[in-house]
């Protein structure tokens, strides 16, 4: 066949039925990504004869005689395409997995199409950015450098989208406070950034493909598995079942202390506990053969009674999902009652508190399952290197913890395992698990060949993890003076079939959500409960967003009940420096401090922005929407500890290279969180250079001693602290060598860009390298940080909304978030994190839900059934930063990855309540729910 790819005739012939996406990737065009394989996400967009197409649903055979252009061919004769230049200048990406497809779509736009992006970008999804930076890039609005006060908004309809508060630091180009572009920018925009599966075939000779046969039953015991039908499928090499896999119990959840999670899982089990659970692993020469082999397996099951809701699971006589396990050994609280973990605590007396209340609010709040929908699905490749070591390349947030888990499972010495993460295409906590690495390792160790496993989008929905659904019965009281008198919560969390992250999500959810308010009488009873449904796991916010939805909704109801402005009520009751932060224990956590405090600033910034927004609408004549529309405002606040408890460790290395550049080696992964750039900026600041002269190597267990991983908002405040410490030590070492060379006192030697200034003499760094070699001085230093002491970060969100009382339509008129992130290392990047968190949270508030039917089956298992926000769905949010300087974070910085998500749901619910008078206590607040509630309420309740 004659198919021209990027100006070169292909010599290959597509297989029957092969789609263009897989054909192009097999030809080495790794910029063509897989996000859905259903034509829903646009990550695979390429040009066929100049027309953009979704190559996952375009038959390769149709490209015969046509010219195909991928992202690798968009640049011509070494010159970037204008769209690539715009995406680079505007930094229109975060993880970058969707970016190639996005640019291929935009590259064909004319002016009319650019003028209507909500319509013309509807076929390209991004989970990270919130779309504002993409819009700016498409419209040619570049970024530029500057301190954290420089956040220009190029949308004429909203002139205060960026922070205007004074900068904490005066930004030095390429250092702290500057809008340094992502270090991987050039690779992302040219399609050369390498994600987990972007490995040329010649580097993995004999590569096999693994697919998983999965349970059709929610609860069953495997009686027998006949491998013969699968092995008879041409191309199938091996089948692995529970009889071939390690019997050791473990948890797929990954934490520094593996005992944080219950050991309730096996690599392959003889009991299945949810529809979609692994039954067997089929390994074959091709993906198609492996899938056929999985379908051919003959499995006999003994059906067991299932239970699908936590309310049913804790009833006497309910089927015990893990009843055969030793609760002490597996760290399950009460396996016979399906309780994974529980907490029972009372501070003061809630009975006395309610007796003293002038107004009491009591309500049951519910949150739903939400899927991470990282655009890159879970995937891994494993092989044996020349030394016989097991090497696993994976899309993971926690390479070092994966290594430890594989060592534990397969009884391998740690030095015989290497885990590498390429650039990770989104995570949001979903890749803080071992879900693919153990299977490919099992196959490679047995077959001595490279093995690859890539989940489909349907497997992401049915066989990975979701956000924990919470049911929260809340009772709260306040007196007429505006003070909380009692907070009582009964919490039930649904962890699904396995307890990965169940204890941590429950405890964390009940932590800062309660601790942010002063109230002498607090009571919590919480249970994390097993059900025969898809497992829950780590998700941005880690239980806080669910609890904050209930508590912040209740705070508004209390304020309304006593006739006080909700923000004033919060100001009266929220913690301030000097107050103990108490949730479920009578003593505060010893290592959590107010490293800085900006919550009051955040409230003021949001209130002022909402007031200005109201004035803008009034001045523009937009406040009169018609008699069927009602408008309202609502806000919510949140607090988060900047690091997880019980240790979060990072080891880094900073070195001066022979060419005078610097190298930083870190263990933490990059998945759009921006920590790579942060590490470069921190090192550059300490070494008086620019981030452009710093190379960051990362996500490889061979690089440094250990790194707990990129989760818990720890990338900046833990790994960053280690990098800063190493860089400062290296700076002293370089100055010491310069002093010995020049005879100038060490105190009079200072680093400048590319050199050391010693009095009147300037010594180039390349000369320092030569001198250090002769002196036997090592110009590489190691940094360590253990994640303690910890600080707290704050976020406040505000909305102005309009609701159509006849149709239930909701319009977001204004969206504002203020954040206390300490000294902001990279304002543009941090703003992007906040915008992405807002967009993801809006999806969860308004429509996202993993639905499970009465048989325990996930019914929303493709993207067109599970609606994540598209370009048209996300309003442009105003983002403001409080002016603080944290005493514990590196150069005053605090975390800001998870926390932007947390206050969004209650703020929107409070705005809808203010507009309609209706309290929505169940998520998502979909349009049909609003319509039905408006229709069914009595006239007296209006």
- How many C-beta neighbours within 10 Å does residue 144 have? 12
Name the nearest CA neighbour of 481 among 584, 594, 558: 558
- Output the pLDDT for position 152: 34
Closest CA relative to residue 164, chosen from 929, 888, 904, 883: 883
Question: 3-state class of 366 per DSSP?
Answer: strand
Contact 800, 631 (CB under 8 A): yes
Q: Tokens for 309, please give them.
A: 């809701």
Dmax over Cα atoms in the chain, in whole Å? 88
- List pLDDT tens digits, range 13-62: 999 999 999 999 999 999 999 999 899 999 999 999 999 999 999 999 99
Residue 396's nearest CA partner among 369, 427, 438, 361 is 427
Q: Beta strand pairing status for 522-530 and 484-496?
A: parallel
Looking at residues 458-474, what average pLDDT do you find? 98
Q: How far is the C-alpha of 459 from the C-alpha of 453, rounded, in Å?
A: 12
Rounded CA gap, 99 and 102, in Å?
Answer: 5
Residues 334-356: what's their mean pLDDT?
Answer: 98
What was the pLDDT predicted at 78?
87
pLDDT of residue 166: 37
Alpha helix positions (H), 652-764 = 675-686, 714, 720-742
pLDDT of residue 143: 57
Local structure of 290: helix, strand or coil? helix
Q: Is the pLDDT of residue 842 over 60?
A: yes
pLDDT tens by residue, 522-574: 999 999 999 999 999 999 999 999 999 999 999 999 999 999 999 999 999 99
pLDDT of residue 712 exceeding 70, the answer is yes
| pLDDT at res. 169 | 55
pLDDT band for position 171 (cuts 50, 70, 90): confident
| Average pLDDT of the residues in 749-771 | 97
Lowest-pLDDT range of 228-232, 297-301, 304-308, 584-588: 584-588
Closest CA to 440 of 417, 459, 463: 417
pLDDT of residue 941: 42
Q: Say if CB 582 and CB 521 are below 8 A apart.
A: no
Share of residues in the chain with pLDDT > 90 (%): 93
What is the 8-class DSSP label of residue 630? Answer: E
Q: What are the beta bridge partners of residue 46?
A: 53
What is the C-alpha to C-alpha distance for residues 438 and 694, in angstroms, rounded to an integer? Answer: 35
Q: Which two tokens stand for residue 278?
A: 């692994």
SS3 235: coil
User: Helices (H), strands (E): how many in the chain?
Assistant: 27, 31
* Per-residue model confidence (pLDDT) at position 939: 57
Beta strand 390-394 with 67-69: parallel, antiparallel or unpaired?
unpaired
Question: Tens digits of per-residue pLDDT, 779-829?
Answer: 999 999 999 999 999 999 999 999 999 999 999 999 999 999 999 999 999
- Comparing 726 with 167, which gets the higher pLDDT? 726
As given in the structure block, the two tokens for residue 534 are 């898809």
- The side-by-side arrangement of strands in the sheet containing 522-530 is 339-347, 522-530, 484-496, 470-478, 359-366
Question: Quick count: other Cβ atoms within 10 Å of Cβ 577?
Answer: 9
- Counting Cβ atoms within 10 Å, is residue 548 exposed (0-12), middle (13-18) or buried (19+)? buried
Looking at residue 150, its pLDDT comes to: 33
Residue 832, Ramachandran bin (φ over 0: left; ψ between -120 and 50: alpha; else beta): alpha
Mean pLDDT of the chain: 95
CA angle 35-922-132, nearest 5°?
A: 40
- Identify the three-state secondary structure at position 828: helix
pLDDT band at 336 (very low <50, low <70, confident <90, very high): very high
Identify whether 924 is preceded by a cis peptide bond (ω within 30 of 0): yes
Q: Element (H or E) spanning 20, and its range?
A: helix 20-26
Query: What is residue 164's predicted lDDT score, i.e. its pLDDT?
Result: 40
Q: Which residues pair with 363 in a beta bridge?
A: 474
Global model pTM greater than 0.75? yes
**CA dist 709 → 38, 822, 923 (Å):** 32, 22, 31
Phi, psi of 911 (to 5 degrees): -65, -40
Residue range 885-923, pLDDT digits in tens: 999 999 999 999 999 999 999 999 999 999 999 999 999
Q: Give the integer Cα–Cα distance in Å for 641 and 899.
A: 9
Instruction: Return all residues near 207 (Cβ < 8 A) that are at least 6 apart.
Output: 201, 381, 449, 450, 451, 452
- Helices marked H in 326-469: 327-330, 350-355, 399-410, 437-447, 457-463
Cα 59 to Cα 289, 294, 533, distances in angstroms: 19, 24, 36
The encoded tokens of residue 294 equal: 């999985």
In the predicted structure, residue 446 carries a pLDDT above the cut 70? yes
The yes-or-no verdict on residue 624 having pLDDT over 80 is yes
Torsion over CA of 845, 848, 852 and 857, rounded to 10 degrees? -160
Residues paired with residue 298 on neighbouring β-strands, in sequence order: 226
Calculate what percentage of the chain has a pLDDT beyond 70.
96
The pLDDT value given to residue 146: 44
Place of tokens 């429509």: 847
State the pLDDT at residue 1: 72
CB 655 within 8 A of CB 663: yes
What Rg do the C-alpha atoms of the chain give, in angstroms?
28
Model confidence at 623, pLDDT cuts 50, 70, 90, reads confident
Cβ–Cβ < 8 Å for 623, 616: no
């Amino acid at each position: 066949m004659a198919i021209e790819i990027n100006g070169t005739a292909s010599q290959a012939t597509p297989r029957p039925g092969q789609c263009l996406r897989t054909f192009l990737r097999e030809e080495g065009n790794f910029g063509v990504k897989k996000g859905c394989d259903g034509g829903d996400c646009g990550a695979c967009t390429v040009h066929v004869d100049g027309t953009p197409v979704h190559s996952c649903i375009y038959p390769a055979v149709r490209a015969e005689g046509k010219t195909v252009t991928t992202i690798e061919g968009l640049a011509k004769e070494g010159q970037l395409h204008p769209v690539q230049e715009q995406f680079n200048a505007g930094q229109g990406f975060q993880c970058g997995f969707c970016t190639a497809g996005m640019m291929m779509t935009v590259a064909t736009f004319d002016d009319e199409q650019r003028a209507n992006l909500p319509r013309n970008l509807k076929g390209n999804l991004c989970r990270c950015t919130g779309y504002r930076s993409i819009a700016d890039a498409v419209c040619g609005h570049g970024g530029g450098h500057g301190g954290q006060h420089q956040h220009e908004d190029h949308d004429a309809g909203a002139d205060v989208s960026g922070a205007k508060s004074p900068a904490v630091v005066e930004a030095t180009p390429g250092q702290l406070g500057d809008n340094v572009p992502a270090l991987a920018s050039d690779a992302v925009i040219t399609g050369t950034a390498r994600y987990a599966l972007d490995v040329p075939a010649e580097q993995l000779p004999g590569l096999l493909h693994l697919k998983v046969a999965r349970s059709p039953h929610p609860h069953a015991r495997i009686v027998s598995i006949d491998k013969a039908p699968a092995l008879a499928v041409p191309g199938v090499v091996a089948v692995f079942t529970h009889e071939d896999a390690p019997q050791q119990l473990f948890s797929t959840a990954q934490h520094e202390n593996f005992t944080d999670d219950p050991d309730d899982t096996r690599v392959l089990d003889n009991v299945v506990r949810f529809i979609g659970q692994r039954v067997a692993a089929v390994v074959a020469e091709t993906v198609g053969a492996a899938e056929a082999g999985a379908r051919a397996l003959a499995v006999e099951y003994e059906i067991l009674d299932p239970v699908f809701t936590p309310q049913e699971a804790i009833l006497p006589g309910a089927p015990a999902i893990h009843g055969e396990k030793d609760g002490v050994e597996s760290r399950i609280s009460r396996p016979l009652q399906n309780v994974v973990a529980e907490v029972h605590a009372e501070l003061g007396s809630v009975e006395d508190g309610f007796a003293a209340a002038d107004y009491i609010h009591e309500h049951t709040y519910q949150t739903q399952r939400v899927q991470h929908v990282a655009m890159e699905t879970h995937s891994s490749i494993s092989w044996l290197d020349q030394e016989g070591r097991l090497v696993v390349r994976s899309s993971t947030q926690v390479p070092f913890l994966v290594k430890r888990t594989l060592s534990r499972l397969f009884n391998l010495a740690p030095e015989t395992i290497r885990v590498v993460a390429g650039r990770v295409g989104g995570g949001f906590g979903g890749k803080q698990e071992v879900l693919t690495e153990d299977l490919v390792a099992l196959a490679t160790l047995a077959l001595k060949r490279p093995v690859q496993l890539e989940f489909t989008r349907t497997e992401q929905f049915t066989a990975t993890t979701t956000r924990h659904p919470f049911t929260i019965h809340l009772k709260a009281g306040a007196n007429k003076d505006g003070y909380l008198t009692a907070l009582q919560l009964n919490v039930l969390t649904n962890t699904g079939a396995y307890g990965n992250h169940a204890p941590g999500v429950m405890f964390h959810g009940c932590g800062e959500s309660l601790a942010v308010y002063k109230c002498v009488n607090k009571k919590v009873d919480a249970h994390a409960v097993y059900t025969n449904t898809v497992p829950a796991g780590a998700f941005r916010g880690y239980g806080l967003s669910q609890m904050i939805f209930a508590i912040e909704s209740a705070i508004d109801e209390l304020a309304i009940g006593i006739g006080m402005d909700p923000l004033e009520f919060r100001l009266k009751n929220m913690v301030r420096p000097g107050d103990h932060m108490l949730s479920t224990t009578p003593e505060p956590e010893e290592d959590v401090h107010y490293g800085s405090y900006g919550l009051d600033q955040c409230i003021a910034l949001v209130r002022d922005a909402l007031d200005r927004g109201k004035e803008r609408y009034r001045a523009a004549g937009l406040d009169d929407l018609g008699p069927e529309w009602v408008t309202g405002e609502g806000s919510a606040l949140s607090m988060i500890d900047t690091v997880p408890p019980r240790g979060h460790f990072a080891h880094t290395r900073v070195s001066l290279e022979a060419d005078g550049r610097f190298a930083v080696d870190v263990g933490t992964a990059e998945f759009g969180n921006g920590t790579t750039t942060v590490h470069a900026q921190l090192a550059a600041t300490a070494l008086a250079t620019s981030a452009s002269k710093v190379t960051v190597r990362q996500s490889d267990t061979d690089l440094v001693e250990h790194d707990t991983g990129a989760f818990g908002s720890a990338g900046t405040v833990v790994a960053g602290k280690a990098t800063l410490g190493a860089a400062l030590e290296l700076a002293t070492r370089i100055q010491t060598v310069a002093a010995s060379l020049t005879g100038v006192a060490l105190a009079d030697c200072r680093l400048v860009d590319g050199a050391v200034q010693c009095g009147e003499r300037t010594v180039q760094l390349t000369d320092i390298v030569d001198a250090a070699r002769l002196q036997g001085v090592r110009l590489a230093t190691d940094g360590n940080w253990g994640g303690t002491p910890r600080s707290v970060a704050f976020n406040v969100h505000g909305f102005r909304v309009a609701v159509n009382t006849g149709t239930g339509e909701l319009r977001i008129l204004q969206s504002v978030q203020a954040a206390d992130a300490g000294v902001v290392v990279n304002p543009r990047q941090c703003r992007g994190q906040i915008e992405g968190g807002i967009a993801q949270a809006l999806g969860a508030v308004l429509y996202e839900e993993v639905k499970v039917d009465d048989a325990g089956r996930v019914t929303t298992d493709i993207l067109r059934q599970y609606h994540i926000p598209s370009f048209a769905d996300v309003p442009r949010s105003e983002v403001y930063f409080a002016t603080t300087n944290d005493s514990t974070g590196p150069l005053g910085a605090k975390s800001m990855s998870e926390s932007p998500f947390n206050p969004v749901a209650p703020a929107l619910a409070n705005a809808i309540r203010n507009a309609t008078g209706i309290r929505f206590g169940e998520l998502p607040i979909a349009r049909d729910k609003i319509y039905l509630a408006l229709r069914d309420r009595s006239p007296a309740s209006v």
